[in-house]
Amino acid sequence: MTPCRSAGGVWLLPNELSSSFKQSETICRCGCGKNAMTEEVICIASILRMLVGHPLRVNSGFRCESYNKRIGGSPKSQHLTGNAMDLTVGVVDYDFNLLVRYAEQSGCRGLGKYKKKNFVHLDCRNDKARWDGDATGGNG
């Protein structure tokens, strides 16, 4: 893994990344055992974790096609290629707007805000995209 840098100027080295997220956090939730997260999304999520200063819980990492379909995910979901994570802060009453602001600074290109469900979707798609999941009824 190579060092990475966020748009906010935070550098992470490979040894810091390896301790940031465990494979058990990003594995497909259906029990199939598949897990193929990209280095870039792990890096960006790690940067967000450092900026927030609190534990982040992975709501969704890699998804196999059948699990993605079962939960109503987009057929073109970035989760299918291990290029996305849905994250929530692991402390009560964390300011959601601050989480979104830090997510913007993390270097992600795709950012979905799900305030009602208290999580953000981060991904590393090719083009910048922003959406309000509460308005669209999406599922990260």
- Top-confidence residue, 28 or 103: 28
Between 17 and 45, the higher pLDDT residue: 45
Query: What confidence category does residue 61 fall into, taking pLDDT thresholds of 50, 70 and 90?
Result: very high
Contact (Cβ atoms closer than 8 angstroms) between residue 113 and residue 131: yes
For residue 7, pLDDT over 50 is answered with no
Residue 140's pLDDT is what? 61
Say what the pTM is. Answer: 0.84
Give domain 4-136's CATH number out of 3.90.1720.10, 1.20.58.390, 3.40.50.300, 3.30.1380.10.
3.30.1380.10
Q: Enumerate the domain spans of the chain.
A: 4-136
Q: Secondary structure of 2-63 in the HEC alphabet?
A: CCEECCCCCEECHHHHHCCCCHHHHCCCCCCCCCCCCHHHHHHHHHHHHHHCCCEEEEECCC
What is the pLDDT confidence band of residue 70, given thresholds at 50, 70 and 90? very high
Contact between residue 7 and residue 101 where contact means Cβ atoms under 8 Å apart: no
Give the strand order in the sheet containing 110-114.
Answer: 56-60, 84-89, 119-123, 110-114, 129-132
Could you give the percent of the chain with pLDDT greater than 90? 55
pLDDT bracket for residue 12 (50, 70, 90): low
